[in-house]
Chain A
Amino acid sequence: MEIVLIGVNHKSAPVELRERLSGFLTLNGPAHASLKGQFGLKEALFLNTCNRVEILFTSDLPDQTIEDMKAFWSNGIVQAPGVPLPGFYIYRNEEAVCHLFRVAASLDSMVIGEPQILGQIKEAYRQAVDHRTTGVILNRLLHKAFSVAKRIRTETGIASHAVSVSFAAVELGKKIFQDLAGKKVLLIGAGEMAELAAEHLLNNKVQQIMVANRTLERALEMAKRWHGRALSLEEISTALMEADIVISSTGAPETILFYPEVKAIMKQRRQRPLFFIDIAVPRDIDPKINEIDNVYLYDIDDLQGIVAQNIAERKQEALQAERIIQEEWIKFRSWLEGIEVVPTILALRKKMEDIQQGEWKKAGAALQGLSPEQLKAVEIMAQSIINKVLHDPITYLKEQLAEDKKNEKIDQIQKIFNLIEGMEVD
Chain B
Amino acid sequence: MDLFFFKCALSLYLLGSLGYILFIILQRKPLARISYGVLWVGFLSHSLSIGLWSMQHGYFPVHSLREALSFFAWAIIGVYLLIQWRFNILVLGSFLSPLASVMMISSSFLPYQNEAVNPLIRNLWLMIHIGTIFVGNGIFAVAFLAGIMYLIQERQIKSKQFGPFYHRLPSLEVLDSLNYNCLILGFPFLTLGMLSGAVFAQYTLGTFWRWDPKEVWSLITWLIYAVLLHGRLTTGWRGRRSAMISIIGFLVLIFSFLGGNILLKGYHSFSAFKDSGPEVRHTEPGKGIHN
Residues of A within 8 A of B (CB): 161, 172, 174-179, 269-273, 290, 293-294, 296, 298, 302, 305-306, 309
Contacts and interface: CB of A to CB of B under 8 A. Distances in A.
Interface in B142-201: 153, 157-158, 160, 162, 166-167, 170-174
A175 B158 contact: no
A273 B238 CA distance: 9
Contacts of B173: 176-179, 273
A301 B240 CA distance: 26
- A174, A175, A273, A296 interface centre (most CB from chain B within 10 Å): A175
Contact of B157 (A175, A270, A305, A309): A175
A273 B172 contact: yes
Nearest to A303: B160
A271 B239 contact: yes
Contacts of B236: 269-272
Nearest to B235: A270
16 contacts: A161-B167, A174-B171, A175-B157, A175-B166, A176-B157, A177-B171, A177-B172, A178-B171, A269-B236, A271-B239, A272-B238, A273-B172, A293-B240, A294-B238, A294-B239, A294-B240
B241 interface: yes
A293 B171 contact: no
Contacts of A174: 171
A263 to B, nearest CB: 14
A305 B166 contact: no
Given A175-B171, A176-B173, A178-B174, A305 B239 contact: no
B203 interface: no
A112 to B, nearest CB: 18
B170 A178 contact: yes
B162 A309 contact: yes
Main secondary structure of the interface of A (DSSP, over half): mixed
Contacts of B160: 298, 302, 305-306
Contacts of A177: 171-173
B85 interface: no
A296 B158 contact: yes
Nearest to B234: A270
B237 interface: yes
- B166, B173, B237 interface centre (most CB from chain A within 10 Å): B173
Nearest to A266: B236
A269 B237 CA distance: 11
B240 A172 contact: no
Interface of B: 153, 157-158, 160, 162, 166-167, 170-174, 235-241
A294 B153 CA distance: 12
A293 B157 contact: no
A293 B241 contact: yes
B228 to A, nearest CB: 13
A48 B240 CA distance: 53
Nearest to A270: B236
Given A175-B172, A296-B157, 5 more contacts: A174-B171, A175-B157, A176-B171, A271-B237, A306-B160
A174 B170 CA distance: 9
B173 to A, nearest CB: 5
Contacts of B172: 175-177, 273
Nearest to A172: B157
A176 B177 CA distance: 12
Given A175-B157, A175-B171, A296-B157, A306 B237 contact: no
Contacts of B157: 172, 175-176, 296
A203 B276 CA distance: 71
Contacts of B170: 178
A317 to B, nearest CB: 13
B161 to A, nearest CB: 10
Contacts of A273: 172-173, 239
B171 A290 contact: no
B162 A306 contact: yes
A309 B236 CA distance: 35
A177 B170 CA distance: 10
Nearest to B237: A271
A302 B162 CA distance: 11
A309 B153 CA distance: 18
Contacts of B239: 271, 273, 293-294
B162 A290 contact: no
A121 B74 CA distance: 56
Nearest to A175: B171
Nearest to B236: A270
In the complex, the 4 A-B pairs of residues with the closest C-beta atoms, listed nearest first: A270-B236, A178-B171, A271-B236, A178-B173
B276 to A, nearest CB: 54
A175 B153 contact: yes
Contacts of B241: 293
Contacts of A309: 162
Contacts of A305: 160
Contact of A271 (B166, B171, B238): B238
A179 B177 CA distance: 13
Contacts of B167: 161
A290 B171 CA distance: 18
A306 B241 CA distance: 27
B243 to A, nearest CB: 10
Nearest to A309: B162
A105 B173 CA distance: 35
Contacts of B238: 271-272, 294
A143 B226 CA distance: 63
Nearest to A173: B171
A176 B235 CA distance: 21
Nearest to A299: B160
A172 B153 CA distance: 12
A272 B166 CA distance: 21
A175 B170 CA distance: 7
A245 to B, nearest CB: 13
A88 to B, nearest CB: 41
- A179, A269, A270 interface centre (most CB from chain B within 10 Å): A270
A175 B171 CA distance: 4
A194 to B, nearest CB: 21
B42 to A, nearest CB: 30
Nearest to B175: A178
Contacts of A178: 170-171, 173-174
Given A176-B171, A270-B235, A290 B158 contact: yes
